[in-house]
Amino acid sequence: MNETVTEDEHVTLINAFIVPVGKEAEAVKFWDKAADFMRGQPGYVSTALHQSILPDAKYMLINVAQWESVDAFKAASKALGTESGIKPLEGLVPNPSLYKVIRAD
Amino acid sequence: MNETVTEDEHVTLINAFIVPVGKEAEAVKFWDKAADFMRGQPGYVSTALHQSILPDAKYMLINVAQWESVDAFKAASKALGTESGIKPLEGLVPNPSLYKVIRAD
């Protein structure tokens, strides 16, 4: 197994969303709008939105995205809030953090 | 963007660990032992353990693993508890759930 696999500046954003019951479709629509905006930001690499197949998961949606650097992600997040014009979805609670892969096979 | 990307039975396990402060290295060692066991179980595909680069993340470790089916993962999880002989690490709180990727680029 590779011990530390990503030495470069790339980081992985993992954002676990608490989704209000009954707002799953709305949450995905909101995410699509935000993803369209983020995709245009410098340093964006890729994303994968995961939806729980279990109805009682704490986090019904989890986004796992790749960014070229911490700074690129931080700038894009700021712009999402100040320039995108996308209004947050009430009750949708994001839990974003940045990660490095330390084990992979 | 691909709407629904995985039609087959594959599922993604996302397991967000709450790690007691000061037990980060122990948690990774515990995870390594569990991963060695799980890797030998039927239906295992791949795994990537993510470590937060931010010191105050709610989940300092998040595992994202691929399994051939829900049943394969459930059987392996049961075996981890009943056959592996690996004792849980005190204070390490897993939050596993199973997901499908619904958006990817």
Nearest residue in B to A49, CA atom: B103
**What pLDDT, on a 0 to 100 scale, did the predictor assign at position B69?**
95
Q: Do B64 and A59 touch (CB under 8 A)?
A: no
Q: Is the pLDDT of residue A6 over 90?
A: no
Q: Which CATH number fits domain A11-99: 3.30.70.100, 3.90.1200.10, 1.10.1370.30, 3.55.50.30?
A: 3.30.70.100
**What pLDDT, on a 0 to 100 scale, did the predictor assign at position A49?**
98
Cβ pair A18, A58 in contact under 8 A: yes
Higher pLDDT, A79 or A3: A79
**What pLDDT, on a 0 to 100 scale, did the predictor assign at position B6?**
52
Cβ pair A19, A92 in contact under 8 A: yes
Give the rounded percent of residues in chain A with a pLDDT score beyond 90.
Answer: 90
* Residue A8: band (very low, low, confident or very high) from pLDDT cuts 50, 70, 90: confident
Distance from CA of B82 to the nearest CA of A (A): 23
Query: Mean pLDDT, to the nearest integer, of B17-37?
Result: 96
Nearest residue in B to A50, CA atom: B101
Q: Is the pLDDT of residue B4 over 90?
A: no
Residues of A with CB under 8 A from a CB of B: 1, 11-12, 14, 16, 28, 31-32, 35, 39, 46-54, 57-59, 62, 64, 70, 95, 97-105
Identify all chain B residues contacting A47, using CB atoms and an 8 Å cutoff: 103-105
Q: Is the pLDDT of residue A38 over 60?
A: yes
Q: Are strands B11-17 and A44-52 parallel, antiparallel or unpaired?
A: unpaired
> For chain B, what are the domain ranges?
11-96
Looking at the domain that runs over B11-96, which CATH code has it been given?
3.30.70.100
Mutate one of B14, B24, B32 to test the A interface: name it (highest A CB count within 10 A). Answer: B14
Query: What is the rounded average pLDDT for all residues in chain A?
Result: 93
**What pLDDT, on a 0 to 100 scale, did the predictor assign at position B7?**
55
Structure tokens at B75: 């059987």
Q: Is the pLDDT of residue B97 over 80?
A: yes
Give per-residue pLDDT as tens, A56-68: 899 999 999 999 9
* Residue B39: band (very low, low, confident or very high) from pLDDT cuts 50, 70, 90: very high
Structure tokens at A21: 């019951």
Q: Look up the ipTM and state it.
A: 0.90
CA separation for the pair A104, B49 (Å, rounded) = 6
Q: Is the pLDDT of residue B72 over 90?
A: yes
Identify all chain B residues contacting A99, using CB atoms and an 8 Å cutoff: 50-53, 62
Angle (CA) A12-A16-B101 rounded to 5° is 75
